[in-house]
Amino acid sequence: MSTPPEAVVIVNPTAGRGIAGKQVPEIRRLLGEKAAGWVWKYTQKRGDAEGMARQAAQAGAPLIVAVGGDGTLHEVVNGVLGSSSAVGLIPYGTGNDFARSLGLYGSLETACRTLTDGVVKHIDVGVIEGEGTEGERNFLVLSGTGFDARTAQTVNRGIRGLSGPLAYVWGAILTLREFQPFALTLTLDHEPPRKTKAMFVSFANVETTGGGMKIAPGARVDDGFLDICLVAEVSKLTLLYQLSQVFSGRHLLHPAVSLLRAQTLTVDATPPQPLLIDGEVCGTTPATVRLLPGVLPFMVPS
């Protein structure tokens, strides 16, 4: 029986506009001798990271590292979840919101040191299933429906010359021209259904989305709850202004904005709305959402 590798590092070389692949020599230098026996793998297409992570977990690798953005991390987590392997992250992406929540964003040295000298923290994972999602989908950062999902569709098609928060803001402006409020039915845990006209509703596992937009101030990855930001019907100009307030969390001061908490929920919309799942748009409402508390071992700074 072969001995499992100490760690498997899965690199998305195109992440961060190609920076991730170019930084591998520096990453290896910073990891030093402790990582001398680690196995390095490189993705070529969508889905590779999930397959590589699942194979590494089945082989018994105690640590599986994602080098890339939230999308790469999403795939690695889907491959690892349910195994005993811990996940590590060196963030290179557009949003990096999950990395921000764990103090891994902004310093390559800190991210590398966390892999060799950090500690394991058990974090929550969200699960969503809707029409056309082909079963349950896991998420680490955020899922939701309505205006935020439609904005993500616009951004994912590509906005020339922009990335990060500026891309999301410009994508929101472009999306707003055609967007209309929708009838929303939201049921949290065992509460009676809430019915309202809405602009969007987001189910957050961390504070920020879109590269630092503080959609759910106070949300934590280990508190056993999803933080739900519900925005009821407002004028298009009001929505645009409130989006500018999201970076500071001041959008919560508006009477049309509610921040709720739950472990399970159902969401339905008329007309049906697309679902946003960790930056990707997949399927539509109706959908069910639940939280799996503390199921994912993750390397964090000591």
CA diameter of the chain: 64
Is 176 a residue whose pLDDT tops 70? yes
Residue 10: both structure tokens together: 């899965």
Residue 21 amino acid letter? G
Higher pLDDT: 106 or 52? It is 52
* pLDDT tens-place string over residues 103-141: 898 899 999 999 999 999 999 999 999 999 999 999 999
State residue 160's pLDDT score. 65
Q: Which CATH class is domain 126-293?
A: mainly beta
List where CATH 3.40.50.10330 sits in the chain: 8-117
Inter-residue contact 241 to 257 (CB < 8 Å) = no
* pLDDT tens-place string over residues 184-216: 999 999 899 999 999 999 999 999 887 788 999
State residue 199's pLDDT score. 97
List where CATH 2.60.200.40 sits in the chain: 126-293
Residue 163: pLDDT band (50, 70, 90) is low
* pLDDT tens-place string over residues 231-262: 999 999 999 899 889 989 999 999 999 999 99
Residue 301: both structure tokens together: 């700074």
State residue 248's pLDDT score. 92
- Of the chain, the percentage scoring pLDDT greater than 90 comes to 76
* Beta-ladder partners of 259: 229
Is 1 a residue whose pLDDT tops 60? no
CATH of 8-117, one of 3.40.120.10, 3.30.390.50, 3.40.50.10330, 2.60.40.650: 3.40.50.10330
Torsion of CA 246, 180, 148, 284, to 10 degrees: 150
State residue 37's pLDDT score. 92
Query: Do strands 142-146 and 119-131 pair parallel, antiparallel, or not at all (unpaired)?
Result: unpaired
Residue 69: pLDDT band (50, 70, 90) is confident
Query: Do strands 257-262 and 119-131 pair parallel, antiparallel, or not at all (unpaired)?
Result: unpaired
* pLDDT tens-place string over residues 277-289: 988 899 999 999 9
